[in-house]
Structure 1
């Protein structure tokens, strides 16, 4: 199975809530090229984010195209319809060439018994001990386990196939990149489950180029990984090896790779990811990397005067409406209310105090993990400000762009793709 449009080995999913930082983000990828590694930008924005901002998918495409033209970028780039389903995909057709099909809600829905039975009969090779190159212990799959996993995941794969076929009917075969996302679910998929899922995806004719499983630990928005880093590295390596095995044995694209969702600022797992992709000579898609909207806030706070005042006002409104803002993200944030400064405290802060609290530098005594998470989900506040917020972005473009580019290159690209420690 192959696709005419191929996602290169290393790619970076970048969000740009207000479609103002595409050039700054692209400059980070250009710095990667200057450092000897090709990292392809994929601008991603979900239906939920468009709804909150009041934007249309075409705005992401326009911003990306303009940045590519302005900076004379000649390598590939993509726009991702992030976390789409059968009912939300249509509005992305005219703007996107990368589709992240989210079927997490269908995991656990039982497939028809006849479909499960047919899958079991056609995949007897999945039974017993399966030797995977790069893994010391073989995977062991019993008939009972295969039936259980098939029952759990086949309906989700069927749904993914339905969405894929809808996209293909509109875009044409080979004219887009397909990712399937299963990360927003309760429990991580084991390597044995992943192998069964990939066999089912191949049967369904889905030309997967990336897949986003759920890993153990917490991938909270905009802050570091919470979990056992050693265990993560083991899981990541097992998944990489399992994908290589599936590509070899099933009709799947040769460039199929892992996608790490909510990949932004997961500093403690960047070195393990780098070691693993070097060890297996494989690619990775680091998705939603470098929280750009927070870098905008940092830039505004650095600028001082009315821009700092606006940043403080955004915090006040986010604080006052924190329950409403946090509700949609409850599973991917972990805020300690006791550690949130009051708006009156923040109102007295200097520019340095605000940026120290928000900038993701865990070594800084001023860094506040809970404040950062609250402001991460607080972009709705800025969206409601409309032109007032956007005009200050334009007025402070240089200082904001510097923060965006430095954050993306130094803290994300360099450690993951170049093996350098973040600054």
Structure 2
């Protein structure tokens, strides 16, 4: 820790007031370096005679506390004394993250229900949030930095507490005090929701897949009438009275829900909507009103028809569910890590209807799942939502991290590429994509300078995108991969920041 003390004394940091530190943080000087040791200037805060900051020493980031008096034991870590200064190195542990939240509440995630534009960042590695913050703080948008599904946690050997901690430390590193979210993504059970709530996650994305009855979409009229007749009389009466040839009109949009289709919707969705109401009450009991519930109906094999969207939101409102955002399945293909696949005019026409429905029923956010890299449809999404939206990204930052490897560590990239090819059949069991990797260029024939081209070919980009589980659990890859990203931290953050800025710009989000 000697180099860190030298940085502090050479810059007189331990003697500066918070006002003086804020002037330094507002400058273009993002870090102070001495040899291989780096102090992140935006993390400089003083509280009750203690200077707090994030620094990187020997390739490892930690939280540091410095004072002229003996340091409190709230934070666990190693303490050394240098003359009249005490310095504590507190590792980025979940316990230290919890303590940090008590001292600096802005490092805790909050509800973003009142924020117009929110971006799910999905940092699978736990080291990209700083770059996400640097991009988003330039725009009139707010980040959901800690966003992971149970599937992602299993593939990366992380926990909800870990991802909240990782994001919180980077929030502190960047001195970001505008508010950020944390999302337990695609949760299907009360047990998983409780795990996310216990980790302090204010946003829950409730995946209704397992309580839906999608088979009803294929039933003919006699089958629908037969199954509908098995529902309780009170339910049948409500559906027939409430949806008797319903016509919805708003912003020049007309949606009709005929009697037969309303009955089909009842058979498809009512169980799922009852489950959503149960979960909404459960979350409210734990968090009061400080939560963001997203309803996900996008994990289906067919697009969500506007009439079905109308039925779903009317029934959710009838049940008193507080809907912050809703994710329909849109027409066309929203596959992982690549642009929209489908007819743009057809998408725009149907998307406008979904937005009109949302705006007339509480103006909840339309949520775009698998939303990264869909640059061709972003202008329409921004226009029709008036930027009241939630965009979910996740794997794109993982893929762009691999771009850093392709540029700087070609041999490591080659090993990752070959292992991704081997793991690809297994990865396909968890993700639906249409990539055919059989026609990819043979990596053995490419020069090192050509490797980055794989990140711009849809098939190889998708292959790498969904193979993260196999790669990150591979002992031959994991250590060298994270070391390379640490060694090339500035390039990694620049690539991620620019990629996220491209998303915000294409959506038409205004700059601050």
Report the TM-score when normalising by structure 1.
0.85
Contact 1:85–1:163 (CA<8 Å) still a contact in 2?
no
What is the Cα deviation at residue 132 of structure 1? 1.8
Q: Which has the higher helix share?
A: 1
**Matched positions, count:** 385
Q: Considering Cα pairs closer than 8 Å and 6+ residues apart, tell me whether 1 or 2 has the greater RCO.
A: 1
Distance 2:240 2:112 in 1: 29
What is the Cα deviation at residue 356 of structure 1? 2.3
- What residue is the counterpart of 2:16 in the other structure? none
Structure 2 unmatched runs, 5+: 1-109, 215-226
C-alpha RMSD of matched pairs (Å): 2.4
- What residue is the counterpart of 1:90 in the other structure? 194
- What residue is the counterpart of 2:457 in the other structure? 368
What is the Cα deviation at residue 116 of structure 1? 7.6
Distance 1:242 1:76 in 2: 29
- What residue is the counterpart of 1:361 in the other structure? none
- What residue is the counterpart of 2:494 in the other structure? 402
What is the Cα deviation at residue 182 of structure 1? 0.4
Contact 1:319–1:374 (CA<8 Å) still a contact in 2?
yes
1:277-329: CA deviations, max 9, x gaps? 23xxx5011111671011111012212xxx22112111111112221122211
Contact 2:332–2:342 (CA<8 Å) still a contact in 1?
yes
| Rg larger in structure | 2
- What residue is the counterpart of 1:349 in the other structure? 447
What is the Cα deviation at residue 342 of structure 1? 3.3
Contact 2:111–2:181 (CA<8 Å) still a contact in 1?
no
- What residue is the counterpart of 1:311 in the other structure? 413
Choose which of 260, 264, 281 in structure 2 pairs with 1:144: 260
Distance 2:395 2:157 in 1: 22
Structure 1 unmatched runs, 5+: 248-254, 359-366
Distance 2:163 2:272 in 1: 28
Report the TM-score when normalising by structure 2.
0.71
- What residue is the counterpart of 2:390 in the other structure? 285
- Return closer, same or farther for 1:398/1:132 CA change in 2, 3 Å cut-off: same
Contact 1:133–1:241 (CA<8 Å) still a contact in 2?
yes
What is the Cα deviation at residue 105 of structure 1? 2.9
Q: Which has the higher strand share?
A: 2
Choose which of 124, 128, 131 in structure 2 pairs with 1:24: 131
1:325-380: CA deviations, max 9, x gaps? 22211x2x1111332233433xx431x3111220xxxxxxxx32111100001112
- What residue is the counterpart of 1:240 in the other structure? 355
Deviates more, 1:320-329 or 1:160-169: 160-169
What is the Cα deviation at residue 41 of structure 1? 3.5
Matches within 5 A, 1:54-73: 54-73=157-176
- Return closer, same or farther for 1:82/1:52 CA change in 2, 3 Å cut-off: same
Distance 1:418 1:51 in 2: 34
Deviates more, 1:335-344 or 1:214-223: 335-344
SS of structure 1 residue aligned to 2:119: strand
Contact 1:24–1:404 (CA<8 Å) still a contact in 2?
yes
- Return closer, same or farther for 1:81/1:321 CA change in 2, 3 Å cut-off: same
1:366-403: CA deviations, max 9, x gaps? x3211110000111233123333222221111110000
- What residue is the counterpart of 1:44 in the other structure? 147
